[in-house]
Amino acid sequence: MAGDSDGVAPAPRARRRSPRRAGARMPTIAEAANLFHQRYAFHPPGSRSELNFRFTGRLNLIARRYRTRLNEHLKAIGQTQARWDALFWISVSGDAATQSELAERMGVEGPTLVRMLNRLEQEGLVERLSTPSDRRAKTIRLTPAAEKALAEIASLSGPLRDDILQDVEARDLEVCLAVFDKIMGRLERP
């Protein structure tokens, strides 16, 4: 290469970062979203694509932070948001969902779900049943003990939700729910 005595191309220059000052705090979710948006303008300012980008970015950040806060609360009773998610999907499946269907619906890998189901089964919260049509497949159902666990989860998650959403008007929540239903409708399409 021209100007390079050993023939090795120079490493690409790293993007310059602002050094963190000692004692500097991490930005809030809203600050982080705004900082990222200002630094990386992937879409023309004021465009629908920019608005979509900002919306989905905030949605993702809020969901992650909510799961973290919920897990902090559920830790007191030995539960997690992921376990609640599994119990939720099992409860609404009508005792008919297989492990692979549950993994797909929850968005987790099969082995991850199997480990969770093993723990839930050891704790007496779920049981696996053979399916008559396929001996390899197992359907999952809740045990009566799971009803108590779900009630404990609700007793902790309800007040957390009420606290987080206390400053949001009911009509705004209704609008958000309508928007989320439209988004979920698009995401559920094949």
pLDDT-above-90 percentage for the chain: 56
Whole-angstrom distance, CA of residue 14 vs CA of residue 32: 21
Confidence band for 136, pLDDT divided at 50, 70 and 90: confident
Q: 65: Cβ–Cβ under 8 A, 6 or more apart, which residues?
A: 29
Domain borders along the chain are 45-169
DSSP string computed for 102-121: HHHHHT--HHHHHHHHHHHH
Picking from 70-79, 127-136, 156-165, which range would have the lowest pLDDT averaged per residue? 127-136
- Token pair of 186 as six digits: 């698009």
pTM: 0.74
Fold adopted by 45-169: Arc Repressor Mutant, subunit A (1.10.10)
